[in-house]
């Protein structure tokens, strides 16, 4: 029994002894980094901002000097140990003197930013982004690796700027990251409009001009329609009775109108880059400049019209695309023209939208729509006479106009990659030039083929016969 107790005491003693021997080693491992320096062979020292290290020298150190105390701090622990602490990112020099005030060694000390907390923050915020790497270069933070999309890159940069040594100084943040996946976006926009109009006119107008007395004249004009300018749909007649000239105008007109507008612009750009597209023209607008007593200087400024498209896409995660899009379809409208300095400047009929949407690859969204129904009625009449039933139609002019418009604008984004030109079909691929017989005698704008190849023979398979403009057309992507 005593033997067992003695063996237990011996085991406990050995455990306590081992713990006492390992405790200083653990404390040393958890403490500041220890670096042995050789004054005869000085090296560059690198310490992290806010961290420290112990420099152990083979010879005694009597005196030291730090060139920039704001960058690093030095404390002598023992004649052969120096405590070095990094304060602010930067580069400075550390000089040691030994026995007899003799120059011992000069070290270059580089204090780097502390990126450990930045790495931990990025790992917590973006756990699925495994390719982000954070390093340092002097007093700058360097981001390398790859991210899944441009939106994540912007968020990573925003977080890294807050950890920059100079606050949000972008010059202290070096971005070498790459965006993986497909980053090219093709946007298809469809502008579809149908406009119908209906107009009806009915009116009877007359005028009388005769003599009043010996030297005067007497005239009467209903002013419902000017006899000087007779528009379409007006029946005019004139009769001279003695000294009176009678003129009658019968205005009866019914018209219908139909307008169809279909524009489908397509544009491709990189994620985060703005792209512009215009298929149309420019019309001149006179701008009055300096004016003198004899003449006036007129400058010409050009305004664009046609089908235009402006958009800026941003590729998000999981195949989603966020974009700012602004399509526009405009036409010259001479019915709303103005006369400026002797020049006729037409107006514009514009369909325009500017919005921001988020869609998945291949999804479509109606970003704008319009349903418009206008009805206008106007009646010009002679008081009292125009209100007489049945006969009052001879003393009044009525006009009725109705316009119906329906407009829809649809956008569809796609993530795309370049393809081989041989796999694409161009709008000109099916065109065959006519020969002299087909052009002069048959009056054809396109040839019938007959084994001839098209003009652009390198963009796809040869065409045996003329395809014409009927059927499928456009730029087809496989």
Q: Is the pLDDT of residue 31 over 80?
A: no
Give the chain's mean pLDDT.
Answer: 75
Instruction: Tell me what the mean pLDDT of segment 48-71 comes to.
Output: 85
- Whether residue 458 is predicted with pLDDT greater than 60 in this model: the reply is no
Q: Is residue 56 part of a domain?
A: yes
Specify the 3-state DSSP secondary structure of 161: helix
For position 324, what pLDDT does the model report?
92
Whether 54 maps to a domain, the answer reads yes
Going from the C-alpha of 385 to that of each of 148, 155, 224, 246, the distances in angstroms are 81, 78, 13, 18
pLDDT in tens, 415-456: 888 777 676 777 777 788 888 888 888 888 888 765 444 444
249 found inside a domain: no
> In terms of domains, do 278 and 411 share one?
yes
- Quick one: pLDDT at residue 476? 39
Residue 127 and residue 84 share a domain:
no
Asked if 171 and 280 sit in the same domain, the reply is no
- Determine how β-strand 132-137 pairs with β-strand 173-175: unpaired
Asked if 304 and 407 sit in the same domain, the reply is yes
Q: Do 362 and 286 belong together in one domain? A: yes
Residues 73 and 89 both lie in one domain: yes
DSSP string, 341-387: TTEEEEEEEEEE--EEEEEETT--EEEEEEEEEEEEEEEEE-TTGGG
141-145, 233-237, 242-246, 277-281: lowest mean pLDDT where? 233-237
For 238, the token pair is 């004139």
- Residue appearing with tokens 């958009």: 311
Classify burial at 380, counting beta carbons within 10 Å of its beta carbon; exposed 0-12, middle 13-18, buried 19 or more: middle
Q: What CATH number did the domain enclosing 71 receive?
A: 2.60.40.1080
- Looking at residue 457, its pLDDT comes to 43
Please indicate, yes or no, whether residues 127 and 69 belong to a single structural domain of this protein. no
Q: Tell me the pairing of strands 103-112 and 72-78.
A: unpaired
pLDDT in tens, 322-380: 899 999 889 888 888 888 777 888 988 888 889 999 988 888 888 888 788 888 888 87
Q: Which residue has the higher pLDDT, 413 or 466?
A: 413
Over the stretch 384-407, which tens digit does the pLDDT of each residue have? 777 788 777 777 778 888 888 888
**Residue 188 falls within a domain, yes or no?**
no
Is 390 a domain residue? Answer: no
* Residue 23 confidence (pLDDT): 45
Is 70 exceeded by the pLDDT of residue 21?
A: no
Is there a single domain that holds both residue 94 and residue 131?
no
Q: Contact at 8 Å (CB) between 247 and 238?
A: yes
**Is pLDDT of 80 > 50?**
yes
Tell me: do 106 and 120 sit in the same domain: no
Q: What is the span of the domain harbouring residue 136?
A: 115-179
pLDDT tens, residue by residue, 179-231: 776 678 899 988 888 888 888 877 766 665 555 444 444 444 444 444 445 55
Local structure of residue 113 (DSSP, 8 states): P
State how many domains the chain has.
4
pLDDT digits (tens, 9 = 90+) for 236-246: 555 555 565 66
- Whether residue 57 lies inside any domain: the answer is yes
More confident residue, 171 or 363: 363
């Amino acid at each position: 029994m005593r033997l067992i107790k003695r063996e237990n005491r011996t085991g406990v003693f050995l455990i306590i002894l081992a713990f006492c021997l390992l405790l200083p080693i653990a404390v040393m491992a958890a403490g500041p980094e220890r670096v042995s320096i050789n004054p005869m062979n000085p090296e560059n020292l690198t310490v992290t901002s806010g961290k420290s290290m112990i420099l152990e020298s083979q010879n005694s150190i009597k005196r030291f000097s730090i060139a920039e105390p704001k960058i690093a701090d030095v404390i002598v622990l023992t004649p052969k140990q120096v405590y070095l602490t990094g304060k602010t990112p930067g580069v400075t020099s550390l000089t040691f003197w030994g026995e007899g005030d003799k120059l011992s060694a000069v070290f270059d000390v580089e204090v780097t930013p502390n990126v450990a907390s930045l790495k931990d923050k990025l790992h917590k915020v973006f756990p699925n982004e495994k390719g982000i790497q954070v390093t340092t270069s002097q007093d700058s933070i360097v981001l390398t690796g790859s991210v899944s999309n441009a939106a994540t890159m912007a968020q990573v940069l925003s977080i890294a700027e807050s950890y920059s040594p100079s606050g949000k100084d972008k010059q202290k943040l070096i971005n070498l990251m790459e965006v993986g996946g497909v980053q090219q976006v093709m946007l298809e926009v469809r502008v579809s409009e149908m406009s119908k109009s209906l107009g009806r006119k009915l009116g009877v107008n007359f005028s009388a001009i005769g003599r009043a007395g010996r030297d005067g004249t007497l005239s009467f004009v209903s002013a419902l329609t000017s006899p000087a300018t007779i528009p379409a749909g007006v029946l005019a007649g004139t009769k001279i009775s003695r000294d009176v000239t009678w003129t009658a105008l019968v205005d009866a007109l019914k018209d219908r109108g139909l307008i169809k507008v279909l524009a489908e612009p397509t544009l491709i750009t990189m994620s985060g880059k703005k792209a512009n597209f215009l298929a149309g023209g420019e019309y001149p607008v006179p701008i009055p400049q300096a004016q003198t007593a004899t003449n006036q200087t007129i400058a010409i400024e050009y305004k664009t019209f046609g089908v235009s498209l402006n958009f800026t896409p941003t590729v998000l995660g999981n195949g989603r695309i966020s974009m700012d899009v602004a399509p526009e379809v405009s036409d010259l409208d001479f019915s709303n023209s103005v006369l400026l300095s002797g020049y006729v400047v037409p107006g514009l009929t514009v369909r325009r939208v500017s919005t921001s949407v988020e869609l998945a690859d291949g999804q479509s969204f109606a970003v704008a729509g319009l349903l418009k129904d206008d009805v206008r009625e106007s009646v010009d009449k002679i008081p009292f006479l125009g209100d007489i039933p049945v006969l009052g139609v001879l003393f009044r002019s009525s006009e009725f106009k109705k316009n119906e418009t329906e407009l829809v604008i649809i956008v569809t984004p796609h993530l795309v990659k370049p393809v081989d030109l041989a796999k694409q079909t161009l709008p000109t691929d099916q065109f065959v030039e006519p020969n002299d017989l087909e052009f002069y005698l048959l009056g054809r704008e396109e040839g019938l083929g007959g084994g001839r190849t098209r003009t652009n023979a390198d963009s796809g398979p040869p065409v045996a016969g003329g395809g014409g403009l009927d059927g499928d057309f456009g730029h087809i992507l496989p």
